Amino acid sequence: MTETYIYKNTVHPDWIDHNQHLHDAKYYDLFSDSVVDFFKSVGLSTDYRNDLNITTFSLEAHISFLKELLVHEKFYIKAHIYDYDYKRVHLFLTMYNDEDERCATYEVIMMGVDFQTRKSTPFPDEVFDKIANYFKQQPNFDSPKQLGHVIGIPKR
């Protein structure tokens, strides 16, 4: 794989909250769907997961909301691997609107898990190799201020 993973969608009317913009919980759903699709793109499809009894679990996640999305707005999400090892991937995803403005970011650490034991397990070699290749081939990444961000109210 040499292309950056991109998830595309449009804000549906039933995703809108009482503030008339994309509901905050829906961001998590969309980013989560993007992560699942990202793993499919590196070989961890649903069938492959079932055949090998392996899946991925989220260990930690953080969303930063940067610009609201309104009904019928088109958006896309790009995935960047910040770090990885034999059983974990540290992903940083960015959601953009049609004008290429950053609307939200999602940072997550995913871990390979054995379906039966429910314990961590290494990624299969072919998946690990595709993750490593994606990491090497992805465009340069300027670390945004949201990466590793600690939530809090700044003291003045």
Which pair of tokens denotes residue 73? Answer: 């707005």
Average of pLDDT values for 50-73?
96
Would you state the pLDDT for residue 1? Answer: 45
- Structure pTM? 0.90
Tally of structural domains, the chain: 1
Would you state the pLDDT for residue 65? Answer: 96
**The domain containing residue 127 runs over which residues?**
6-137
In a domain, 153, yes or no: no
In a domain, 53, yes or no: yes
Residues near 108 by beta carbon (within 8 Å), at least 6 away in sequence: 31, 35, 58, 59, 60, 61, 62, 90, 91, 93
| Among 134, 122, 26, CA closest to 71 | 26
In a domain, 11, yes or no: yes
**Which H or E run contains 106?**
strand 102-114
In a domain, 147, yes or no: no
- For residue 152, name the pLDDT band (cuts at 50, 70, 90): confident
Domain CATH code at residue 14: 3.10.129.10
Coil, helix or strand for 135?
helix
